[in-house]
Copies of this chain bind each other. A is one copy, B any other.
Amino acid sequence: MAKSDTAAVPVKGSKLMVIGGASLVGSATVDEMLARGAAEVTIFDNLSFGGRPNIAHLEGNPKVKMVQGDILKLHQLLRAAENMDGVVHLAAFMTLNFDRDPWGGIDVNIRGVQNVLEACRANKVRKLVFASSNAVYGYGPGVKGDLVENTPFHAAGAPPAAILYGSSKIMGEQLCRDAHRKWGQDYVILRYSTVYGERQHYRAANALYIVETHDAIKRGERPKVIGDGSETKHFVYVGDLACANCMALEAATTDVAVNTSGPAPITTLELVNLVAELSGRPELKAELVEPDPTKVRLTSGGAFEIVHRAAKDAIGWEPQVSMREGLSRLLAWRDASLKQAAE
């Protein structure tokens, strides 16, 4: 990791763009930037996964500019990135979408990063924050123990879409490194673990457990757990990631990739029972069921922990919100949204 005075972009007073800004993490990041006094925040999003409700609360805010654009159209990015001090790039296909449309996933997750880097180069954007993933460590039985930044990519035993997603993130990271070497592009890569929080969507294979469990409990049913529920998950609260994105812009650090995970891992069984408890129905204990072979599920073999120590050193970040606290917020948000929708 390198430090450079020019790599520090204070959020306060800056013009910033969030690509994929109408997403779960994107909308929280825009909120955090505004709270920190950003001069102007551009949301660049094609809204292909919805997203409009995530940014409805920002409508009419004079500091927020919405650009409905496509990262595969370089001219749109080039124009949107004009006069930007910093860019946070979040737009990506995840595993489930890679399974449905590998061509789209490759375009968005690889060519998309190249286009973003090109727009940053052409517009002399001082700092890029790129959202990578703990998927760069892979899936399957090989993934166990402490996952640190130089842990290799394990592919054996994982479905093609998961490996395609993980390698697309590896390539995105390397394109950033290449840009730093070739034209000095300052960047920080954050390897998100599984995100959850308010405005949770249904597109991420891992976070589905939370919303599916909550839905089952709402119906008075016991939540289903696929397999024996012993596999590890390591979530991170969306608000913590919004802070990490801002801190990565503000840090003098460049040319580095660090993990951003929550305080501690949890097993699927613990998670599901915690959701039941927080939903006020602790008696609805998880029911173990056999996996459906037609569905893409990401199972991990051993117990693992995504270590976030390097993020503290690089950008001063560590997670603040416990799983219990974050889940309470998510469930409260879902209850309020469902109630509002029913009215």
Contact B152 A155 (CB under 8 A): yes
| Complexed CA–CA distance, A167 and B169 (Å) | 10
Q: Is the interface of A mostly helix, strand, loop or mixed?
A: helix
Contact A155 B170 (CB under 8 A): yes
Q: Which chain B residues border A164 with CB–CB below 8 Å?
A: 171, 174-175, 178
Interface string of A139-175 (1 = CB under 8 A from B): 0001000000110111111001101100110110011
| Complexed CA–CA distance, A52 and B103 (Å) | 32
Minimum CB distance partner of A168 in chain B = B171
Q: Which of A106-114, A228-236, A238-246 contacts B (4 or more CB under 8 A)?
A: A106-114
The number of chain A residues touching the other chain, given as a range, is 20 to 34
Q: Is A263 an interface residue (CB 8 A)?
A: no
- Given that A102-B114, A114-B102, A170-B167 are known contacts, is A177 also in contact with B152, CB under 8 Å in the complex? no
Q: Is A138 an interface residue (CB 8 A)?
A: yes
| Complexed CA–CA distance, A236 and B103 (Å) | 33
Instruction: Give the residue of B152, B163, B171, B178 whose beta carbon is less than 8 angstroms from that of A174.
Output: B163
Q: Is A63 an interface residue (CB 8 A)?
A: no
Number of copies of this protein chain within its complex = 2
Within 8 A of B (CB), among A75-120: 102-103, 106, 110-111, 114
Minimum CB distance partner of A176 in chain B = B160
Q: Is A36 an interface residue (CB 8 A)?
A: no
- Given that A150-B142, A152-B138, A154-B152 are known contacts, is A106 also in contact with B171, CB under 8 Å in the complex? yes
Query: Which residues of A approach B to under 8 Å, CB–CB?
Result: 102-103, 106, 110-111, 114, 138, 142, 149-150, 152-157, 160-161, 163-164, 167-168, 170-171, 174-175, 177-178, 181
6 cross-chain pairs, A with B, having the tightest CB-CB distances, nearest first = A150-B156, A152-B152, A153-B153, A160-B178, A160-B174, A167-B167
Show 20 residue pairs from A and B whose CB-CB distance is below 8 angstroms, ordered by the A residue: A102-B175, A103-B111, A138-B153, A150-B156, A152-B156, A153-B153, A153-B170, A155-B174, A160-B175, A160-B177, A160-B178, A160-B181, A161-B178, A163-B170, A163-B174, A164-B171, A167-B167, A167-B171, A167-B174, A168-B171
19 further contact pairs, Cβ within 8 A, besides A103-B111, A138-B153, A164-B171? A102-B114, A102-B178, A103-B114, A106-B110, A142-B152, A149-B156, A152-B155, A153-B155, A153-B170, A155-B170, A155-B174, A160-B175, A160-B178, A161-B178, A163-B174, A164-B175, A164-B178, A168-B171, A171-B171
